[in-house]
Every structure is written in C-alpha cells, then in structure tokens.
Chain A
Amino acid sequence: MTDISQTPDTTPVAKPKGSLFDKDARTKRRNAAEGRFKLYGIAAIGIGLLMLVVLVTKIVTAGTGAFQQSFLELSVELKEDKLDKKGNRNIEDIKKVSTFGYAPLISAALEAEVQKLGIQTDLKPKGMGKILSKATQADLRNYVIANPDEIGNTVSFRFLVNSRVDGYMKGRVTRESIANDKSISVPQLDLVDQLRDAGVLYKTFNPDFIFGSDASDQRPEAAGIGVSMLGSLFMMLVVLALALPIGVAASIYLEEFAPQNRLTDIIEVNISNLAAVPSIVFGILGLAVFINYMHLPTSAPLVGGLVLTLMTLPTIIISTRASLKAVPPSIRDAALGVGASKMQSVFHHVLPLAAPGILTGTIIGLAQALGETAPLLLIGMVGFIASNPPDGIVAGFLSPNSAMPAQIYEWSKRADPAFYERAWGGIIILLIFLVTMNTIAVILRRRFERRW
C-alpha cells in the first residue's frame, strides 16, 4: 500500500469495475494456486495408491503360491513284517518302528506305481523317494498308529512332495536353476513330469497351510500357520479381557469423575507418551517383569497378551476418552436433573452412547496388537515353536506358541526359498484378519454412532 501512495500518478484514477467473468491478474493467480494445490493433492493420493497397488500386487503374486501344494497319490502296502514283526497288533510294538522305518515302504510304493504306469527311469527307489516330502513318513506312521488294523492291507494316500518338486510345479524351480542343487536332479524332474502327465502328481488347494503347524527347515512343504494363528487368538483374548475393562475404567474415571488438577494432568500427558513408546520397549519390560520376576512361562501366549495389553491400553484409553467427550453435556445434565446419581448418569446414559466409539477404538487397538512382532521377539515367541496345537484352553494360554507375525518373521529368515513363499502367504492371511477387523470397526462406527 505504501508503494501505491508514493506513486499516485501512475494509478488510473477511475478504473472501471471489471466484470465477474473477467478475471484480473490477482484472481487468476489465486485460481492457479488453487489448481496447483488440487494437483498436489491428486498426486499425493496417486502416489499413495500406487504404493498400495505395488504392495498388494507383490504380496498377492508372491503369496498365493503358498495356498497351493503339489501332492502325489500312492497306494502303499503296509507290510506286516516291517511294521508289526510280532504280528499281535500291540500298539506299543507298532510305535517302536520309527519314522525312518517307513521310508522303504514309501519308496517301494513309488517304485510300484512307476512300474504300473510304465514310466522309464534310471533312478533307484531311494532316489525316486526323494521327490516326496519327509513329512510323508510321519503321516504314514501316524495313520498306522491310529489304524493298526490296516497293517497288511494296501492303502491309498495323498502324499506331499518335496519343496523343490513343488517349486518345479509352480515354476519357481527350473532345470537350469538346479544345476548345483544336491537335493534334486534332472532325472527326478523327468520322473515328476511323467507322473504329472499320468495325473497322479497334481497341484491343488492346501488347507494344511492355513490350519497346520510349523515344520522344521527340512520340510517347508508341510509348514502351516494354523497353530500360530491360535497363539495370536489366545493373545488377543488376553488383550481384550485386560485392556478393555482397565482402559474403559481408567477413561471413565479420568473423564467423568477425576478432579482437574496437576496430578490428572500428569497422568494425561503420560498416557499420551505411553502411546508413543516403541513397542520393543514393552517387550523388554515384559521379559523383565512377567518372565524374570513373576516367573510366568516363556513363549506363552499369556505373557505375549500381557505385553500387548500394555501396548494397547493407551490406544483404548485415548479413543474411549474421545468418545466420552463427544457425548454432549446436556445428556449428563438431563440425567442429573431427573435425580440420577453421577454414576447412574455415566453408566445408564453416557457409556451406552459412547459404546460404538469405544468398540471402534478397541478393535483398532486389537488389530494393531495382532500385527505386532517386536515385543514378541524378546519373550521367546520366535523360533521353531508353533509345532504342537494346544490341547485345551489352559494349554492355549500357557504352553509355548508363536503368533502370526512372529511366524512370518521366522519363515522369512529360513534358508529354503519355499519358506519365503510361505512368509508371503502368511502375510496374506494376516492382512485378511486386519482388513476384516478394521472393516468391522468402520461398520460399527457408521451404524451406531450418534451425532448431535
């Protein structure tokens, strides 16, 4: 403005007011700035969406393979002289034959099948047997122990094949890539080709990946995420049972009853701080307090749940307080006005109105806890842990188990590339859970939230 007043001569005296359709330079600049901002916004969303698309495509392409597995159908003769030498069907005697004793039976069955199909191969029965998974011996032994009467009969089975053969069926392993591989040879792949053409070796959906237990490094084809899913479930039960009541009680007190003073201010600041603490810190705390001091069992979902409770509490408290605050004071005043006590006004009127918000916060907190890995590393939930399904509710809480994210982490570390595929498959399952939980949270909020 000062510039203008200093040079009044140059300013036209009576500039006609422009039409609204006639944009002057300043308006044009403002409109251009707005247009640019919209572009930035679209670009930002575009980048975000692109990342999402890349991520989802990668996960889906890398992980869908894990849901399929190659199987070989074989008729195995359960020879009595190998499995029950005394012939008295005594279960204790049958159990004495270890899994290693079953390997020759399976090789013989495969050899018979190859002969029956008229397949030409130079492989010895032992070499042929190598295309099958090592889990087959255990599967067969478990079957025989469960059905001792079948000894002597010929039974048809669907066996898992080795992870390399499975990789070949899925295109991950090729004849070129196995040049230096000791676990599989080209003649074995030739045999696989012929068995596939004969229709006895095929790829199909594998429910054991979703419901099965973890397997050792030698048999990735048999590994499943089911047991660690149960571990996650029991952990979430602990989190829900502890974090929800504690979190809601704390928020109700802080929001409705507590006096506003220094102390409550400090508590409030600390709750916000706690929400920002890295989760690994809770793991260290859990190790020190729950395992070393309280002597709770290591690797137990109970301990994992306790640690995750600490982590989830601030999230629940903050969201609960926000939804309590959103209930208008007139509701409280009206309740108090008709003679309700403070507690009645809170529990009969405020809490039900705030419930959708509380539930949403809880579900989001649970989803966060479900995907958390770092604290679990420290309380011994990573390794070869999820091998036994828990045999009961108490065992579910107390016997060692892993959790889904910890299992994915463990698989991604293992040497065989087949585990890598399973890690991606595990991510798909975990993401399905997370998306479902978040969707439920959104639906609850949409359907039950009241606005004033």
Chain B
Amino acid sequence: MSFVKLSASAFAIAAVSATTAAARDQVQVAGSSTVLPYASIVAEAFGENFDFPTPVVESGGSSAGLKRFCEGVGENTIDVANASRKIRENEIKACADAGVTDIIEVQIGYDGIVFASDINGNTFAFTPDDWYKALSAQVVVDGQLVDNPYKTWDQVNPNFPAQPIAAFVPGTKHGTREVFEDKVILAGCEHTGDFEAYKAANGDDEKAAEKACIALRTDGVSVDIDGDYTETLARIDSNKDGIGVFGLAFYENNTDKLQVATMSDVVPSTESIATGEYPVSRPLFFYVKKAHIGVIPGLKEYAEFFVADEIAGPDGPLAEYGLVSDPELVEVQEAVANETVLGGGS
C-alpha cells in the first residue's frame, strides 16, 4: 500500500507544480516541416551561444503551426510559427479574434524546389510546359480539351526518352504543393497557350480556368505523397522510372541516390535560386507573437539571432544547409529589431 501512497503523492506533486510552473523558460516554435531543419539549426546554435535554454521546435505543417499560433496569447500557446508560405488573410483574422493582434513577420530566405529521379536513370531537362502536359488532368490536343492521353515522356516532348510517366508530387497539405501548382503547372498551362482553351471552356472565368489547369490527373500517373521527402525517395527507389519533387536541401543530402533535372535549362543551386534564374522557389517565413516578447525569455534574441548575418547570411550555416539567403536581410534584421508588426504601417 505504501507504494500506492507514494505514487499518488508523487503525482499530486507533479500536478500541483504543473499549475504553478507558469513561468515557461524556453521559446516554443511549431509549424512547417520545410522550415524545421533551419529552425533546429538555429535553435541548437542559440542554445549553445546564449544563456537561454535551447528552443523547442515542433513540426506539423505550416497551416497547423499557424492555427496553433492563432489560438491566443499566453504561456501555453506557441511563440513562433514557422511557415513555408505567407500568412493568409483569414488566418490573420482568426489570430485577431483570439487576441493575437501584433504579429511580426520575418522572411528568412528562399527555398528551391527541385525535380529529381534515380541516379542511374535517364537525364531530364524539363520546362514547366512538360510538367503541365504530363500531369494536368486535361490537355489540349488538336484544339480540343481532352483527358490527358500521355503515357510516356516522349509523347510529351519528343526530346525525352520513352520512359513511362510516374510522378511523385507533394500532397495537398504541403505548402510545397501550392508552389508546384503555381510556378510549374500553371506556368506551363499559360505558356503553352492552353489557358485560353480552359478559359473558353469555363465561360471566360479566369479563376475557374486556373483551377482546371492545376487539377492533376487521377489515373495513377501522378501520385500524391502526404508523407515527407523520405517517402518520395523510397517510392523512387522502388520505381526507377519515377520522378519526384524535393526540396533543394533534401536533394543535396542525397546526391548519391538522386540526380536532379534542370528546369528551363537552369541547374538548381543556391546561387541560381538567389539570382532568380531557377524559377521554382518560394520564400520561407516565421511569425513572432509580439505580446510574448519580454514575457518569454529569449524570444526576441532568438528572432534576432535567426536573421543575424552569421546565421542566415550567405556564408552562414543555413545557407550551407540549402537555404537561399535573403538579399534584403538587412531590412529583415531592422524589422525584427524594431518589432515591426504586420499591417502596422511600415
């Protein structure tokens, strides 16, 4: 019985201290799994160089992170949300409704999205047109909008080998999917001129035409990957004809298994993305709750450290890992130092 008493009292102590342990002493971050590696590198270096404990970085996706960010102000809500896309209007509104009014937006740099296939397979030089033709649910053939008939890459573009089309694209819950649709499929749709056909078919409605453009085929040629890039890699490993969509940093860590395809004749690299030559890239952000600055120790220091030259600059560890440094980093540093909030002038 004494054991029962002991364990009961141990739990009681823990429960009491749970309510009294209001003073959280480490920064809590959650959000995009694309930003997670960068945030973890910063958090680790932050813990090593400052007297604050190492911040905790959870993954879960941009949308989930921003949702938790917007739950309210207080110790048991997160301080920073990582996002691989800009915060949306409705999220800002949801935040405001919950009392999170002052949000500091910090753009940390750019991330490239690359197309890669098995290292021993054929080499590809893509254009957005090729991807649109290969994956869109409907394409224009002889002036008619028909269900996508292409089965092999040489049907899409005579320069390609006769390899069956098998694409592994990020699922709809990923921020990467949005970029893939906008910068590749939609760009190809517009460039090939098929957009006009969609517009005509949708009664001149541009929005509906765009939506029809980016609708991917569902006959098994294009596979949505809801997991992480490791899953895409495993799929390519088992289907050597597969071509997958990856983040640049992931590809650079797995160059022994993957070869990267060029896009519009540009090889993806941090340099070609920084100059804007490589077309498929997107900015990465994190959002800071201003109300928590001064309450959670180390929050502002963490945000400033994240965008400091020695971290996020072109020679810093983030760039080394695959982040494309923001050319306007100085302005970002100023914005963080001044705690400039969203929509608050500036």
Contact = CB atoms under 8 A, between A and B. Distances in A.
Interface in A213-239: 215-219, 237-238
Interface residues of B, number: 56
B76 A291 contact: yes
Given A297-B76, A413-B230, A218 B41 contact: yes
Nearest to A398: B21
A356 to B, nearest CB: 16
A174 to B, nearest CB: 8
Interface in B30-74: 30, 33, 36-37, 39-41, 43-45, 47-49, 51, 53-54, 56-60, 71
Contacts of A296: 18, 76
Given A398-B17, A398-B18, A400-B56, A181 B49 contact: no
B27 to A, nearest CB: 11
A383 B44 CA distance: 13
Interface in B102-118: none
Nearest to A138: B48
Contacts of A178: 255-256
A388 interface: yes
Interface in A283-342: 291-292, 295-300, 302
Given A298-B76, A302-B18, A382-B59, A141 B48 contact: yes
A350 to B, nearest CB: 15
B71 to A, nearest CB: 8
Contact of A417 (B48, B71, B254, B259): B254
Interface string B233-266: 0000000000000010110111110011000000
A364 interface: no
Contacts of B33: 413
A415 interface: yes
Interface string B14-28: 100110010010101
B6 to A, nearest CB: 8
A269 interface: no
A291 B71 CA distance: 12
Interface in A82-109: 95, 98-100
A95 B49 CA distance: 8
A287 B144 CA distance: 52
B7 interface: yes
A70 interface: no
A422 interface: no
B21 A394 contact: yes
Contacts of A387: 43-44, 47, 54, 56
B153 interface: no
B48 A388 contact: no
Contacts, number: 153
B76 A384 contact: no
Contacts of A384: 36, 39-40, 43-44, 56-58
A216 B40 contact: yes
A216 B41 contact: yes
B141 interface: no
A439 interface: no
A11 interface: no
Interface string A199-221: 00000000000000001111100
Interface stretch (A42-50, A110-118, A241-249): A241-249
Interface of B: 4, 7-8, 10-11, 13-14, 17-18, 21, 24, 26, 28, 30, 33, 36-37, 39-41, 43-45, 47-49, 51, 53-54, 56-60, 71, 75-76, 78, 227-230, 247, 249-250, 252-256, 259-260, 310, 317, 320-321
Given A180-B260, A414-B230, 6 more contacts: A217-B41, A242-B11, A291-B76, A298-B28, A299-B58, A399-B26
Interface of A: 95, 98-100, 134, 138, 141-142, 173, 177-183, 215-219, 237-238, 240-242, 244-245, 291-292, 295-300, 302, 380, 382-385, 387-388, 394, 397-400, 410, 412-417, 420
6 contacts: A134-B317, A244-B4, A297-B21, A298-B28, A397-B14, A415-B230
